[in-house]
Amino acid sequence: MLSKILGNGALTMPERVDLRSDTVTKPTDAMRRAMAEAEVGDDVYGEDPTVRRLEELAAETLGKEAGLFVTSGTQGNQVAIATHAGRGEEVIAEAESHIFLYEAAAVSAIAGAQIRQIPGVAGALPPEAVAAAIREPNVHHPRTALIEVENTHNRAGGTVIPLDNLRRLREVADRFGVPIHMDGARLFNAAIAAGVSAAEFARLADTVQVCLSKGLCAPVGSVLVGPRDFIERARQWRKRLGGGMRQAGVIAAPGILALTTMVERLAEDHEHARMLAEGLAEVPGIRVDLGRVQTNIVLVDIAGTGLAVEAFLASLAAEGVLASAFGPTLVRFVTHRDVDREGILRALSVISRVVKGGVTA
Ligand SMILES: *Cc1c(COP(=O)(O)O)cnc(C)c1O
């Protein structure tokens, strides 16, 4: 029972419970110190030892030959896609993938390729549908240059793309000679949830982008990893997009701590998401698919509360609880290091009050 979880006693009230995204996490004290002390050089000349260390560490962690430090997840994905695919070519991606919905049409604007959207099952691409979508050589057809997968899948609710699905996609990719790029913005969440190493997932893709600035708490950046010759070509795309950075060791240093000290603790974010989801499932009018709550994202449908999303969010915000609109009746909550158990309890208490009392803002 929700009332049992919440109890009757006064909770320690944190100022603000920001569940809009795990991107809001602040760098840790250790990260701040590492930034101040980072050894640096001009990375466009290949002379920043801290950036090189981060790139090598990411490559090693994900079982790839080389890595490239990029400014954001979007830049990592788009540099990868532009290196894999060119003008007039086609990229297969899940219908609600981040590269399609949230990267400002960069695949068409930068690589000059078009996206072929395939509806997924909880974010996972059905291998038969992918095989059927790969183009036969024909004067009417674009060449299928790439298959893109997103793990975890944001719009599906932070779902883990299962290893078995990825193995079958790999077989299809190998059969047709098409590479796979993995948008692993939250790949470490997938690894922790599945109880395997991130390399187990990365092995099934040719190239992988991972975000350091989400649940791993670094202030900036992502790393793209893959074969050495691919990364060298990607380096030129990064330069072309204005991503050639100079004494970038200052921002790479917290990235090293992100990979070495912040991965295991994601399990805590997952526990908090589960706790939040189970609490929300008890609030009348709120629907949660608990099966989809596998990592640090909780998607809820508030249609049954009779409240409009914007009004619901405004009422929550008036009490210091922040979440994101995710559709006409959908709201997204994302757990992370800067929201503790108390914060989750406070969010639940505010939400149940708002739903019970109707909109107050
Ligand atoms: C956050 C995210 C990205 C990249 O985000 P940036 O804000 O550009 O760093 C890419 N893919 C997915 C699935 C994401 O959630």
| Ligand 1, atom 14: closest residue by C-alpha | 185
Ligand 1 centroid to 3 CA: how many Å? 36
Q: Please give the domain boundaries of the chain with CATH numbers for all domains.
A: 3-25+265-357 (3.90.1150.10), 29-261 (3.40.640.10)
pLDDT of residue 5: 53
Angstrom distances, CA of residue 3 to CA of 52, 282, 283, 319, 349: 52, 9, 10, 19, 9
Closest CA to 276 of 86, 89, 12, 17: 17
Ligand 1 centroid to 109 CA: how many Å? 18
Ligand 1-lining residues (CB < 6 angstroms): 72-74, 77, 98, 150, 154, 183, 185, 211, 222
pLDDT of residue 15: 76
Which atom of ligand 1 approaches the CA of 153 most closely? 13
Q: Which stretches within the chain are classed as H helix?
A: 2-6, 29-37, 49-61, 73-84, 98-101, 106, 127-133, 163-176, 187-194, 198-202, 228-240, 249-261, 266-280, 309-318, 341-357
pLDDT in tens, 39-56: 999 999 999 999 999 999
Asked whether 111 and 85 are in contact (CB, 8 A), the reply is yes
| Ligand 1, atom 6: closest residue by C-alpha | 73
If one residue of 22, 102, 251 were mutated to test the ligand 1 pocket, choosing by the most ligand atoms within 8 A of its CB, it would be 102
pLDDT in tens, 283-321: 999 999 999 999 999 999 999 999 999 999 999 999 999
Angstrom distances, CA of residue 261 to CA of 182, 198, 255: 23, 15, 10
Ligand 1 centroid to 360 CA: how many Å? 33
Q: What is the pLDDT of the chain when averaged over all its residues?
A: 95
pLDDT in tens, 179-238: 999 999 999 999 999 999 999 999 999 999 999 999 999 999 999 999 999 999 999 999
- Listed in sequence order, the residues at least 6 apart from 283 whose beta carbon sits closer than 8 Å to its beta carbon are 2, 305, 351, 352, 355
Closest CA to 97 of 89, 105, 88: 105
Ligand 1 centroid to 73 CA: how many Å? 5
Task: Please report which helix (H) or strand (E) contains residue 286, including its range.
Answer: none
